[in-house]
Amino acid sequence: MTDPSAFALFLDFDGTLVEIAPRPDQVVVAPGLVPTLELLRARLGGALAIVTGRPIGVIDEFLAPARFDTAGLHGVERRLDGAVSGGGAEDHPELRARIARLHEMVGGLDAVLVEDKGASVAVHWRLATPADAERAQGAVEAVAAELAGAYRLQLGKAVGEIVPASATKGHAIRAFLREAPYAGRRPVFLGDDRTDEWAFETVNADGGVSIRVGSGETVAARRLADPAAVRALLERWAEGSPIDPDVLQPA
């Protein structure tokens, strides 16, 4: 199946479109990425969306001046055709009440960062010592346990994030697939992290193509080596090569 109109493309950001950086604000967007995404979106008739743990506004800053359909904060907020829904910090008073304490719990740890996203909060320990990383993970796990039921903990690559329990990238993808121009198309999702495995499961269940970026065990059907390989593939598709994700290397 190579007809572009048959596919809806969903792309994670960190570790998929861009290489992971020591700090979230230090990622580098390759010069040709935004033009490639714009060309590919046009070829797909608009059915291209970013599905990420980042807030939509942060994605817009990295991919400026383009504006793409985006599911941010693992689907807590979603923008389709310019209209944004969900994601307000004011809707999460229980979480907000614990942000200051989370800062206190990790404040004495070197190279540990608390990223307040409004409707979710993440603790990063990529540059921390093993001992401080363990303490940082313990802190976010403790706060998440206090919020169990309404919120859940997502562990990724040197990060733990507390998100609303109903928010997953899989739910976000399905929400897009209920609306034009995504409806009736076969979903293709590219992601790299443990948090993307639920979305892979969703896409697999819906007859789509799940693509893991990088090494590691996965439920994804296909694999690409790294973000550079992702960008190269997207560039080929944008320039007119057949869109056939089923021929990629099995995972």
Residue numbers annotated as active site: 12
* β-sheet with 69-72: strand ranges across: 83-85, 77-80, 69-72, 48-51, 7-11, 186-191, 209-213, 222-224
User: CB of 77 within 8 A of CB of 71?
Assistant: yes
Vertex 30 angle, CA 27 and 35, to 5°: 130
Strands 77-80 and 83-85, sheet pairing: antiparallel
Biggest distance spanned by C-alpha atoms of the chain: 55
> Which residues, including other chains, have CB under 8 Å from residue 137's CB and lie 6 or more apart?
123, 125, 155, 160
Q: Which residues are CB-neighbours of 148 under 8 A, at least 6 positions away?
A: none
- What is the amino acid identity at position 106? V
Are 128 and 136 in contact, with CB atoms under 8 Å apart? yes
- Hey, what are 200's tokens? 């892979």
Q: How far apart are CA 141 and CA 216, in angstroms?
A: 23
